[in-house]
Structure 1
């Protein structure tokens, strides 16, 4: 059975642990990279990463973009959103449709 994991600062991931997700507290980007690589090899179908860490380890995240699993999804941390999740959705829709049909600023 597949699992769901959350990578972020220890304070932010505690709530996810309370609802049954596997939480991985990371203080540095090196720790986050190592954790991502380790759990990506395990049975994780979805890995949520706090946006601030996602931005710092984007090169490592990109290694998994073309793989079926795990799906690596940025989520806002306790300090709010950086807009990375919305940007990723916008890029995916643009690739699929061939044009920017979302959030058009005209």
Structure 2
């Protein structure tokens, strides 16, 4: 059975445990890379990563872009939204449908 994980600073991710999601509080780049590899190799189908942590390990995340699993999804942390999560979704949709999409605040 596939599992769901969330990685990032503790304050940003601790609430996910109430939803039954496995949390992995990390703020060290080297440990985050090791943990991402371990999760990807151990039946985690979806891995949410805070945008700030993802910025530190972006090259490692890129290794998984073409794989079906795990799906790596960026989420904002307590320090705010950098826009990388929305940008990543937009890029994925553009690749899938071959067309640009527009996110608006209508």
Normalised by the length of structure 2, the TM-score is 0.89
| 2:12 is the counterpart of 1:12 | yes
Q: Which moved more, 1:88-97 or 1:7-16?
A: 88-97
**Once the 2 structures are TM-superposed, how far is the Cα of residue 19 of structure 1 from its aligned partner?**
1.7
Matches within 5 A, 1:2-81: 2-81=2-81
Q: How many residues align?
A: 104
Which ranges in structure 2 are unaligned for 5 or more consecutive residues?
none
Cα distance change, pair 34–94 in 1 and its aligned pair in 2 (3 A): same
Normalised by the length of structure 1, the TM-score is 0.89
Summarize deviations over 1:15-56 as a string: whole Å, max 9, x none: 111221000010211121111011110011100000001111
Q: Which moved more, 1:90-99 or 1:37-46?
A: 90-99
Which ranges in structure 1 are unaligned for 5 or more consecutive residues?
none
